[in-house]
Structure 1
Amino acid sequence: MKLKFDGFIVALIGMILFAYIYPDIAAFLEGKFLNTLISIGVALVFFFYGLKLSFIEIKDGMKNWKLHLSVQLFTFGLFPLLVLAFRPFIHTETQEQFWLSFYFLAALPSTVTSSVVMVSIARGNVPAAIFNASISGLVGVAITPLLMHFFLDVQEMNVFTELYIGLLFEVLLPVILGLLIQPYWGKWAHKYGTALSRFDKGVVLAIVYSSFAESFMSDVFHSVSKYYLIGLFIGVILLFFTVYLIIYLLVRYVLKFNREDQISGIFCGSKKSLTHGSVFSKFLFANNPKLGLYILPLMIYHAFQIFVVTIIAQKMGKQYEEELLKRK
């Protein structure tokens, strides 16, 4: 079984190293230059995101409402509740920081591209995966900040004004504009989908660099121990497998979906979007020097979910092909 090499994960690691060696670049013109470029990049990412959507596909996708509702509840309900269960055990500032980074991960929408690719490899319900992953991103614009609002220190920032205004102009309006233009430019967006995907990743890399450069300049990582970082890795792995197992049991034995819908439910419901997380963190943790620490679990989860789900998807796809051969 061959595993596809994901150069983006290597690029993420490389960007962190680059931020460590050259953090001063982020401070050029007091950080306004890089922040402006990122803001423009984010707006374009979600404009292209809207171009790839289709009102017809959204309308047709709503027919399988039971699967769609389940995936959104897994994404914005099951995930946060699992992390919330550990809230009573938080007593120190370091523990609060550790917990909040995981809660931020849990509150994020599902990822689009990798979910669809993995569902396709496993021979699952691809149209349902496209619908769920796409809708999840739109729902997350409203739900993620709301879930985070209860646990953020907002003394210097009004979440429901500055944050939502920022998301409105950089995320929601570009998506709406893309949707409106989709009948005219939609084919262009799909034709150059690979190039647009690379652009998305480039914007994410810029946000990651900015976040970690600020953290390195503030010596944030010197304030945490190696045990803290080890705990992040262990916590991410445990969270992924716990969510994956619960969703698997629910879609198979409780909801009793067919094989294709089970795959879509598991893969879409257990994924988290690094693109949305990088963008949302820019608003949720604005001017916070510890931003690098808050998005670190998300980066680990992103790499881990791709690695593990690729193995699972390839195994499911192989089993499906073997079953078809047996029927013939």
Structure 2
Amino acid sequence: MTNHPSPDEAARRPHLGRRVLTRIDPFIVGMLCAVLLASFLPARGDAAEALGYLVLVAVGWLFFLYGVRLPTSDAFAAVRDWKLHGTVLGVTFVAFPLLGLASQLLAPAVIPVDLARGVLFLTLLPSTVQASIAFTSIARGNVAGAVVAASFSNLAGVVVTPLLVGLLLGGAVGFSADSIVKIGLQLLAPFVAGQLLRPWLAPWVLRHKRLTTVTDRGSVLLVVYSAFSHGVVDGIWTSVSFGSVVALVVISAVLLTIVLSLTTFLGHRLGFSRADRVVLLMCGSKKSLATGVPIATVLLPAATLGYMVLPLMIFHQLQLVVCSVIARRLGEQADPEPVALSPAPAA
């Protein structure tokens, strides 16, 4: 989850989302480096304990920033277009989880059980913010609607995702009363604090976008390193084969194809305008890596983190590549004039 403009600002900036993946995103490169570092130099002993405290602070900082950045008033404006935003939420928190449950049938024949649970976990996450808005702008959709839909998805996700994890993964990953306390202290409390302080801090955050982007992405990279350190110590690379990784890529592609087809069908079936169909397509098909990694760190046992994060990382990159192509084609159909291309955002 990263900075995004208000609906009015987004409407005045038609070039906001004209970004297409012409190269690998630096954030993805950073995560791959974090995984490699953890694979060869995992944190152990006292270093692992110290890293745990740093991750605790990093997660709190991330959700505090999310609270400061998310425009609550814009998100609650969703009630004025309940049909569109209700459909986005339905795809995000109902259709996606059902597909995640169906994917469990593939274990252990196709992928290990732990990786299958990681696929289910990614389907329980909220949508991205910046990428959804950017791709909606590329496709000449309703940018203001995308801001509201993505914001509302993330506001709901702070509560809904932990509930879904407890309901669908609780028995498998040891979700307990302690998890609920951790949610309150590490996720909700910083988020609420950010929302309360938003009137005073949001202008400063908007003026220092580069600083806050570096700190929140750095926090995510720290959490990724920590997650894979635990995984390496517990033998993730001895139980995940190259074939399993290939299978994850195929499963992610199938999952994304189904959701893109579903959102396209629903957009026409429910009679949305072209601009709103783009919102449903782009916001309904995304899952947030920047939100998912810290949530996994808070909710799930350390021994399972690597397995949970790996499917999310694969799906995240795939959704950016595919949706950038789709968005560009939709934009060219709506406006044949050529546009300047640059990399799409990572979250």
- Asked if these proteins are the same fold (TM beyond 0.5), I'd say yes
Relative to structure 1, the CA distance from residue 3 to residue 85 in structure 2 (aligned partners, 3 Å threshold; closer, same or farther) is closer
% of aligned pairs identical?
33
2:208 corresponds to 1:192: yes
Task: Report deviation, 1:91.
Answer: 6.2
Matched residue of 2:194: which SS? helix
**Matching residue of 1:108:** 125
Matched residue of 1:148: which SS? helix
Q: CA RMSD in A?
A: 2.4
In structure 1, distance between residues paired with 2:117 and 2:315: 15
2:33 to 14, 26, 34: 14
Q: Is the 8 A contact 1:207 1:278 kept in 2?
A: yes
Task: Report deviation, 1:2.
Answer: 6.2
Number of residue pairs matched by the alignment: 319
**Matching residue of 2:265:** 249
Relative to structure 1, the CA distance from residue 153 to residue 30 in structure 2 (aligned partners, 3 Å threshold; closer, same or farther) is farther
Relative to structure 1, the CA distance from residue 91 to residue 42 in structure 2 (aligned partners, 3 Å threshold; closer, same or farther) is closer
Task: Report deviation, 1:178.
Answer: 1.4
Matches within 5 A, 1:110-189: 110-152=127-169, 154=171, 157-159=174-176, 161-189=177-205
Q: Deviations over 1:8-54 (max 9, x none)?
A: 1111111111111211xx22525221111111111112212221233
In structure 2, distance between residues paired with 1:269 and 1:53: 18
Q: Is the 8 A contact 1:215 1:292 kept in 2?
A: yes
**Matching residue of 2:324:** 310
| Higher mean displacement: 205-214 or 221-230 | 221-230
Relative to structure 1, the CA distance from residue 45 to residue 153 in structure 2 (aligned partners, 3 Å threshold; closer, same or farther) is closer
In structure 2, distance between residues paired with 1:194 and 1:264: 27
If the length of structure 1 is used for normalisation, what is the TM-score?
A: 0.89
| Higher mean displacement: 260-269 or 187-196 | 187-196
Q: Is the 8 A contact 2:227 2:302 kept in 1?
A: no
- Which residue type is aligned with residue 34 of structure 2? M
In structure 1, distance between residues paired with 2:206 and 2:223: 25
- Which residue type is aligned with residue 227 of structure 1? G
**Matching residue of 1:201:** 217
Consecutive unaligned residues of structure 1, counting only runs of 5 or more, are: 324-328
- Which residue type is aligned with residue 117 of structure 1? A
Q: Deviations over 1:148-180 (max 9, x none)?
A: 224446599553x22222122222122211121
2:302 corresponds to 1:287: yes
In structure 1, distance between residues paired with 2:254 and 2:170: 28
Relative to structure 1, the CA distance from residue 232 to residue 92 in structure 2 (aligned partners, 3 Å threshold; closer, same or farther) is closer
Q: Is the 8 A contact 1:61 1:127 kept in 2?
A: no
Matched residue of 1:271: which SS? coil
In structure 2, distance between residues paired with 1:145 and 1:70: 21
